[in-house]
Homo-oligomer: A and B are copies of this chain.
Amino acid sequence: MRMAHTMIRVKDLDETLAFYTEFLGLRVARESAIGDECKLVFLTDESGHYHLELTFNCDGRDYTLGDQFGHLAFVVDDLEAVVARVEEKKWWFRRSKPGNRSSYIFVKDPNGYDIEILQGKSV
């Protein structure tokens, strides 16, 4: 058994792709469509070990996000460089408390999902 992917439903595919590829640095591994109904995009990182599946239903439906699902987490080499980009974009973000075991920020993706960005231990 292996962990394969996490699927999230998204409201604006272009905005979501820009967030995960241009801002976070994921790449598109494959794309498909179910007729005119639905577009699926599989994203992954350099390793290609795990995927994030974006499901975009083309009928413009809305969703309820709820408060049960948690977040998606990504590790970066230089968290402060990411913070500088977030500040430039004037996005909301929340920092880990000083002295915390790990350093991270939380941001929101264009669909409202919480995204944790962690400082990697190698730096």
Query: A: which residues have CB within 8 A of B?
Result: 1-9, 24-26, 44-47, 49-50, 52-53, 55, 63-77, 111-113, 116, 118, 120
Question: In the complex, how many angstroms separate the beta carbon of A103 from the nearest chain B beta carbon?
Answer: 13
| Smallest CB-CB A-B distances: 6 pairs | A66-B66, A7-B70, A63-B68, A69-B69, A64-B66, A49-B49
- A1-B53 CB under 8 A given contacts A8-B69, A68-B8, A73-B6: no
- B25 near A75: Cβ-Cβ < 8 Å: no
- B118 near A9: Cβ-Cβ < 8 Å: no
Residue of A74, A112, A113 with most partner-chain B CB within 10 A: A74
- A76 near B3: Cβ-Cβ < 8 Å: no
A11 to B4, CA, bound (A): 24
Residues of B within 8 A of A113 (CB): 69
Question: In the complex, how many angstroms separate the beta carbon of A88 from the nearest chain B beta carbon?
Answer: 18
Closest to A50 in B: B50
Residues of B within 8 A of A26 (CB): 1, 3
Closest to A66 in B: B66
A25 to B1, CA, bound (A): 7
Residue of A9, A50, A76, A118 with most partner-chain B CB within 10 A: A50
